[in-house]
Amino acid sequence: MRIVDGKVIVCSPGRNFVTLKLVTEDGVYGLGDATLNGRELAVASYLTDHVIPLLVGRDARRIEDTWQYLYKGAYWRRGPVTMSAIAAVDTALWDIRGKTLNAPVYQLLGGASRESVMVYGHANGSTEAETIAAVKNYVDLGYRAVRAQCAIPGVQHAYGVGRGTLYYEPAQKGRPLETVWSTERYLDFVPPLFASLRKEFGYDVHLLHDVHHRLTPIEAARLGKALEPSRLFWLEDPVPAENQAAFRTIRQHTTTPIAVGEVFNTIYDCAQLIEEGLIDYIRTTVVHAGGISHMKKIAALAELHHVRTGSHGATDLSPVAMAGALHFDLSVHNFGVQEYMRHTPETDLVFPHAYSFEHGSMHPGDAPGLGVDIDETLAAQYPYDPAYLPVNRLVDGTVHSW
Ligand code: EZ4
Ligand code: CO
């Protein structure tokens, strides 16, 4: 079964997406998500100019061999552009394999380890009252896990403040938005916010919070300790994670569970975190960490060390990546939770899909392959529209992690 054609479809139905489509000699095609928020065309070029020409003529069934061929064969290893491109190829090949065997991808990965996968939604507010109302909205929609974020008084544009809808999207047109950050105000504001949420909702709903890489290890340790009475499901990205050993400081001070990984590309980015037991949830996802094949290896390492998965699932992951994540989540033993930010209706129409949401959980569906398609005619009506993620500065103007 030879690959005879491949193309990259860039479209912007509400936000930008890069989608790889590989076609076999039998006319079966597979899809892979290659979206890298704010740097989309670099991955599109990597695929079009350097990868698709190498795929034509290869056997579409050799998924692992193709992964190694692209990873080791590039000589230049790792990195978000390379690994998103490899992820797209890998995902498309699993899609093709499922379609040709007439089986949903999760059946090829070992079958379902659970009936469905618990997801968490994003509750954002400009005030504590708004965040409480947003959490209530998710609880009323049936969610059993909710991530709560709130603007901080005196801090412009704290991470995760919504625009009054279910569709949170931080990337903006034009030059990057510059946001201002105060760690001091944040550290004072967040523990009482979660105390209020617990008072309102009790302990039956899982509460999560994303620090978005903004603290130092000792600050994160202090926050984790202060949040212990609120019993978070997890505290996400407490510090930038290039320095994996720095998580030891957090671990030595708090029992608040730690989650990390949305910007990781390979198992090497999290091996120390996992092997030293420095985290509780690994949040790598199909599109940015080398596809389904590589995610399985990360999950297998994590399982040895009591670390569960919590795949990233923001709106900058297309429905193709979301489907891949759901097949992965359903099949791996050590699944924890899946992030689920709803795509806009425009996005859902461009990418018809078999996955579904019910009672706070999702299921990938039983369509062959990934169970997601792309309407290319509709996609063509939404041309690429450059957008950037914000740049963050401290109050005195120093560039800080966003
Ligand atoms: O800011 O995916 O947990 N989710 C997140 C996301 C990220 C975006 C960046 O493109 O942190 O909202
Ligand atoms: Co995050």
User: What confidence tens digit (pLDDT) does each residue in 29-51 have?
Assistant: 999 999 999 999 999 999 999 99
Are the CB atoms for 170 and 202 separated by under 8 Å?
A: no
Domain identity same for 162 and 288: yes
Confidence (pLDDT) at 166: 67
Domain identity same for 124 and 170: yes
Confidence (pLDDT) at 159: 86
Boundaries of domain holding 15 = 3-104
Check pLDDT > 80 for residue 165. Answer: no
Check pLDDT > 70 for residue 285. Answer: yes
What is this structure's pTM? Answer: 0.97
Quote the percentage of the chain above a pLDDT of 70: 99
Domain identity same for 306 and 325: yes
Q: Report yes or no on 312 lying in a domain.
A: yes
Q: Could you give the residue ranges of the DSSP H alpha helices within 102-167?
A: 105-108, 128-140
Which residue among 124, 210, 258, 315 is best mutated to probe the pocket of ligand 1, counting the most ligand atoms within 8 A of its Cβ?
Answer: 210
Contacts for 68 with CB less than 8 Å, ≥ 6 apart: none
Pairing outcome for strands 117-125 and 145-150: parallel
Are the CB atoms for 392 and 383 separated by under 8 Å?
A: no
CATH number for 112: 3.20.20.120
Q: What is d(CA 129, CA 27) in angstroms, rounded to the nearest whole number?
A: 54
Quote the percentage of the chain above a pLDDT of 90: 95
Contact 314 CB / ligand 1 (< 6 Å): yes
Domain identity same for 83 and 116: no
Total domains in the chain come to: 2
Q: Report yes or no on 266 lying in a domain.
A: yes
Q: Report yes or no on 385 lying in a domain.
A: no
Active site residues: 159, 212
Tens digits of per-residue pLDDT, 377-386?
999 999 999 9
Q: What is d(CA 102, CA 108) in angstroms, rounded to the nearest whole number?
A: 10
Are the CB atoms for 45 and 4 separated by under 8 Å?
A: no
CATH number for 52: 3.30.390.10
Q: Which residues surround ligand 2, an ion (CB under 5 A)?
A: 210, 262
371 C-alpha to center of ligand 2: Å? 26
Domain identity same for 195 and 334: yes
Protein residue closest via CA to atom 7 of ligand 1: 314
Given the CA of residue 159, which atom of ligand 1 is nearest to it? 1
Confidence (pLDDT) at 190: 98
Are the CB atoms for 236 and 283 separated by under 8 Å?
A: yes
Domain identity same for 11 and 160: no
Size of the chain, expressed as the number of residues it contains: 402
